[in-house]
C-alpha cells in the first residue's frame, strides 16, 4: 500500500508540474522541452528531490514517447515521397556523417580516450535527436514546409546508420572480432530493407486492418502494431523509432488522419516523460568540470549541423528561409547520443565520456527548440534590409 501511495503521489505531482511548465512555456510562446529537461535535473540524483517510486515507469514511458513521436511524424509522409527524397539526399547524408562525426572523433583523440573512444564519441556528435526535432517541427507547424522532407531524410538516414553503427560499436567495446558480429549486422540491414518494402507494398492492407468506426478500438490496434514493430526493430538492432516511423508511413487515407487524432494526447504525455527522463539521468554536480569543453564542442557542432542543413535544403531547392530553418532545426542531440555513451561507459572506456555527453546533449537539447524560432525574425530583418536597399537604389537612380 505504501509503495502504491508513493508511486501515485510522485506520478501525479510530476505530471501536474509538467502541465504547469507547459502552460508557462505557452504563456511566453516558447517550447516546453528545455523546461522538461530542467525538471528532470531537479528531480534526479543530486537534485532537490529524487524520484524513486516511478523510475521504472519513466524509463518505459520515455521509450514509448520516442516511438510515438516518430510514428506520428511518419504519418505525414508516404513511402513514395520518402524514397524520392532519399534518392536525392544521399549526398547530404554523407556530408552530414563526415561533418558531424569529425568533431567528436577529434575531441576524443585530444582528450586521450583512444581510437575506440573516438569512434564512440564520433557517433555521439553525429546523430541528431529525432525525438526533439519531431516535437519542434510539430510545435512550430513546419511539417508541411518545403525543407521538412530534406530534414526528415537526414534524420532517417542517421537512424538507419545507427542500425549499422551500433552492432559495430558493441563489437569493438566487447573486444571481439568484427566477423563475430557479421550475422547481426546483416540481419539489421535486411530488417531495414524489409520494413521499407512492407511499408511501401503493404500499406493499404495494414490500413484496412486497422480501420474501425470506434476511436477506442482504433487506438488499441494502432498502439499494439506500433509497439510490436518497435520491439521487433530493437530485437534486430534497428532503432525502435525507425520501426515506428515505417508503421507511420505505411498508413494512408482516413486511417492515418484518425490515428494521428486519437494518439495525439498519448504522444504529448509520453514525449514529455521522455524529456524529463533524459534530465533525470544526469547528476548536476558532475557537469561543471566538463562544461568548458562541452560548450566549445557544442559551438563547433552547431556550426557543422547548420552547414549541413543549409546546404542540403539549398540543394533540394529551398530558398533562404527554408535553408535557415533546416540548419537551425537539426541542432539538438538526444536519445541516441546518450545510448551510445552509455554503452561506452558500461564497457569501461572512460567515465568522463558519459558526463561530457550529458553536458553536451543538455546544451544542444536546451538550445535546439529555441534556435529554430530565430528563423522568422532573421528572415524579416533580411527582407527589411533588402527593401531598404531597393528604395535607396531607386532614389539614387531617380
Q: What is the pLDDT of residue 392?
A: 82
Q: What is the pLDDT of residue 171?
A: 73
C-alpha cell at 184: 547481426
| Domain assignment present for 389 | no
Q: What is the pLDDT of residue 63?
A: 86
Residue 85 pLDDT class (50, 70, 90 cuts): low
Q: What is the pLDDT of residue 240?
A: 77
| Domain assignment present for 29 | yes
Long-range contacts of 319-328 (CB under 8 A, 24+ apart): 320/379, 320/382, 321/375, 321/379, 322/145, 322/146, 322/147, 323/147, 324/375, 324/378, 324/379, 325/142, 325/145, 325/147, 325/372, 325/375, 326/147, 326/150, 326/151, 328/371, 328/372, 328/374, 328/375
Average pLDDT score over the chain: 83
| Domain assignment present for 393 | no
Range of the domain at 255: 2-384
Residue 177 pLDDT class (50, 70, 90 cuts): low
Average pLDDT (206-217) is 84
- Report the domain count for the chain: 1
Q: What is the pLDDT of residues 218-239, one digit of tens each?
A: 899 999 999 998 888 777 766 6
| Domain assignment present for 253 | yes
Q: How far apart are CA 306 and CA 34, in angstroms?
A: 20
Residue located via cell numbers 535486411: 190
Residue 398 pLDDT class (50, 70, 90 cuts): low
Average pLDDT (182-186) is 66
Residue 185 pLDDT class (50, 70, 90 cuts): low
- 57-61, 251-255, 330-334, 365-369: least confident range: 251-255
Q: What is the pLDDT of residue 331?
A: 92
Average pLDDT (59-82) is 81
Q: What is the pLDDT of residue 310?
A: 95
Q: What is the pLDDT of residue 30?
A: 66
- 36-50, 81-95, 175-189, 310-324: least confident range: 175-189
| Domain assignment present for 397 | no
Angle among Cα 345, 101, 363 to the nearest 5 degrees reads 70
The CATH number of the domain holding residue 106 is 1.20.1530.20
Average pLDDT (347-375) is 86
DSSP letters for 327-378: HHHT----HHHHHHHHHHHHTTS-HHHHHHHHHHHHHHHHHTTTGGGGHHHH
Q: What is the pLDDT of residue 82?
A: 66
Question: HSE (CB half, 13 Å, CA atoms) of 60?
Answer: 5
| Domain assignment present for 394 | no
Average pLDDT (54-73) is 86
DSSP secondary-structure letter at 112? T
More confident residue, 4 or 360: 360
Question: HSE (CB half, 13 Å, CA atoms) of 324?
Answer: 14
Q: What is the pLDDT of residues 99-149, one digit of tens each?
A: 999 999 999 999 999 898 999 999 999 999 887 888 888 888 888 888 888
What are the residues whose beta carbons fall under 8 Å from the beta carbon of 223, sequence distance 6 or more?
263, 266
| Domain assignment present for 247 | yes
Residue 191 pLDDT class (50, 70, 90 cuts): low
Average pLDDT (168-176) is 73
Q: What is the pLDDT of residue 19?
A: 92
Average pLDDT (298-327) is 93
Amino acid at each position: 500500500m505504501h509503495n502504491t501511495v508513493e508511486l501515485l503521489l510522485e506520478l501525479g505531482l510530476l505530471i501536474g508540474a509538467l502541465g504547469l511548465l507547459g502552460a508557462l512555456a505557452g504563456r511566453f510562446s516558447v517550447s516546453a522541452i528545455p523546461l522538461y529537461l530542467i525538471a528532470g535535473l531537479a528531480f534526479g540524483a543530486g537534485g532537490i528531490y529524487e524520484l524513486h517510486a516511478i523510475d521504472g515507469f519513466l524509463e518505459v514511458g520515455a521509450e514509448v514517447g520516442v516511438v510515438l513521436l516518430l510514428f506520428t511524424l511518419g504519418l505525414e509522409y508516404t513511402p513514395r515521397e520518402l524514397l524520392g527524397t532519399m534518392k536525392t539526399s544521399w549526398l547530404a547524408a554523407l556530408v552530414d556523417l563526415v561533418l558531424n562525426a569529425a568533431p567528436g572523433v577529434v575531441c576524443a583523440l585530444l582528450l586521450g580516450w583512444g581510437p575506440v573512444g573516438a569512434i564512440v564519441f564520433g557517433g555521439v556528435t553525429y546523430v541528431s535527436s529525432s525525438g526533439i526535432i519531431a516535437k519542434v517541427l510539430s510545435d512550430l507547424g513546419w511539417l508541411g514546409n518545403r525543407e521538412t522532407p530534406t530534414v526528415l531524410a537526414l534524420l532517417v538516414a542517421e537512424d538507419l546508420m545507427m542500425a549499422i553503427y551500433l552492432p559495430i560499436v558493441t563489437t569493438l567495446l566487447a573486444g571481439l572480432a568484427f566477423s563475430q558480429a557479421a550475422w547481426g549486422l546483416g540481419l539489421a540491414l535486411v530488417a531495414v530493407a524489409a520494413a521499407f518494402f512492407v511499408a511501401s507494398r503493404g500499406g493499404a492492407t495494414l490500413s484496412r486492418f486497422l480501420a474501425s468506426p470506434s476511436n477506442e478500438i482504433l487506438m488499441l490496434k494502432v498502439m499494439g502494431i506500433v509497439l510490436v514493430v518497435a520491439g521487433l526493430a530493437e530485437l534486430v538492432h534497428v532503432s525502435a523509432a525507425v520501426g515506428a516511423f515505417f508503421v507511420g508511413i505505411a498508413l494512408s487515407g482516413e486511417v492515418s488522419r484518425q490515428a494521428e487524432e486519437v494518439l495525439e494526447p498519448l504522444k504529448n504525455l509520453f514525449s514529455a516523460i521522455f524529456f524529463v527522463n533524459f534530465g533525470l539521468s544526469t547528476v548536476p554536480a558532475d557537469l561543471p568540470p566538463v562544461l568548458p569543453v562541452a560548450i566549445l564542442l557544442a559551438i563547433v557542432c552547431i556550426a557543422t549541423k547548420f552547414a549541413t542543413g543549409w546546404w542540403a535544403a539549398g540543394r533540394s531547392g529551398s530558398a533562404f528561409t527554408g535553408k535557415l530553418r533546416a540548419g537551425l532545426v537539426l541542432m539538438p542531440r538526444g536519445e541516441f547520443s546518450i545510448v551510445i555513451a552509455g554503452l561506452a561507459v558500461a564497457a569501461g572506456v572512460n567515465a568522463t565520456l558519459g558526463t561530457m555527453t550529458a553536458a553536451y546533449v543538455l546544451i544542444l537539447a536546451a538550445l535546439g527548440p529555441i534556435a529554430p524560432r530565430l528563423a522568422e525574425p532573421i528572415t524579416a530583418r533580411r527582407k527589411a534590409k533588402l527593401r531598404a536597399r531597393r528604395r535607396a537604389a531607386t532614389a539614387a537612380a531617380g
